[in-house]
Amino acid sequence: MTKQQGADWRYDGKVALVVGASSGIGLAIAERLIASGAKVGLAARRADELEALCKRLGERAIALPTDTGDNDQVAQMVDRVAQTFGQLDVAFNVAGVLRLGSIIDLSAEDWDTVQDSVLRGTFFCLKHQAAQMICQGTGGAIVNITSVSAQIPAHGACAYSAAKAGLESLTRTAALELADHDIRVNALSPGLVTTPLTEKTLSRGPIIEAYNRRIAMGRPAETLEMTGPALFLGSDEASYITGSSLVADGGWSITGYPDLRALR
């Protein structure tokens, strides 16, 4: 059983940006930020999903339809948050896609799709988020959602694991470069979380049973369970933490991936 999460990390007076806000971990973070008092820019590709979400979350949320692979669109996304709410204090970069295939079988197109979404897109986000915070002169915090896949190899996940490992390195480099501007950059590294991205995997009984046997806590996480660690890293309570990766995987990384080749 999971515990009900409350709005423990207060964000009153803060302006946040969530990239990848329409579903999964990004949606859960956006909802909790609103509950914690923040004004929130919600970015994702589909305008209709974002408009419906803003209608539900209320006037402290704005929709920012954005293709993060387009540098100009990302710049406009950040500008609109700052123009609407007057500043940008914290950003959460959650967007990413998954394409499975072995090194031998994975297509170049699928490889590029994952790298563009996870690395190229987050690079553009970091670039413009940090520039806005530097312009303000107020410092800030940026949280990138990576994965334990960055550290633990898995059959068929070469593109995703490589992209997330690259994102962890990008996070540390950004933390080093931006520290002089009082901007903290950290990563949250989840394990298996119940999201639309993992829905197909979790729908197959033998596969989820194999995962659960390798997760110390015996189950995947719910998206709500990622919001506490994420909001902590973005909050003033983490004022002396930068360049770190906080693992929230239920103990998965101490056991490693199951070998699912016979189950696919």
C-alpha span between 36 and 60 (Å, rounded): 11
Q: What is the CATH number of the domain that holds 117?
A: 3.40.50.720
Q: What is the pLDDT of residues 136-156, one digit of tens each?
A: 999 999 999 999 888 888 788
Q: 262 in a domain, yes or no? A: no
pLDDT at 36 > cutoff 90: yes
- pLDDT, residue 264, reads 53
Cross-strand pairs, 57? none
- pLDDT, residue 1, reads 42
pLDDT at 3 > cutoff 60: no
User: Which of the four pLDDT bands, split at 50, 70 and 90, describes residue 254?
Assistant: confident
Residue (of 46, 138, 125, 63) closest to 91 by Cα position:
125
pLDDT at 255 > cutoff 80: no
Sequence letter at residue 108: A
Q: 19 in a domain, yes or no? A: yes
Q: 246 in a domain, yes or no? A: yes
pLDDT at 252 > cutoff 70: yes
The backbone region for 170, taken as left when phi is positive above 0, alpha when psi lies in -120 to 50, beta otherwise, is: alpha
Q: 4 in a domain, yes or no? A: no
Among 50-59, 207-216, 217-226, top mean pLDDT goes to 50-59
User: Which of the four pLDDT bands, split at 50, 70 and 90, describes residue 162?
Assistant: very high
Q: 70 in a domain, yes or no? A: yes
Tokens of 254: 């101490």
Active site residues: 160
145 and 97 Cβ atoms separated by less than 8 Å: no
5 and 224 Cβ atoms separated by less than 8 Å: yes
Lowest-confidence segment of 94-98, 158-162, 227-231 by average pLDDT? 94-98
pLDDT at 258 > cutoff 90: no
Q: Which domain holds residue 41?
A: 15-254
User: Which of the four pLDDT bands, split at 50, 70 and 90, describes residue 7?
Assistant: very low
Q: What is the pLDDT of residues 37-64, one digit of tens each?
A: 999 999 999 999 999 999 999 999 999 9
Q: 3 in a domain, yes or no? A: no
Q: 125 in a domain, yes or no? A: yes
Q: What is the pLDDT of residues 65-104, one digit of tens each?
A: 999 999 999 999 999 999 999 999 999 999 788 888 899 9
C-alpha span between 209 and 196 (Å, rounded): 19
Number of domains forming the structure of the chain? 1
Q: 6 in a domain, yes or no? A: no
pLDDT at 133 > cutoff 60: yes
Entry pTM: 0.91
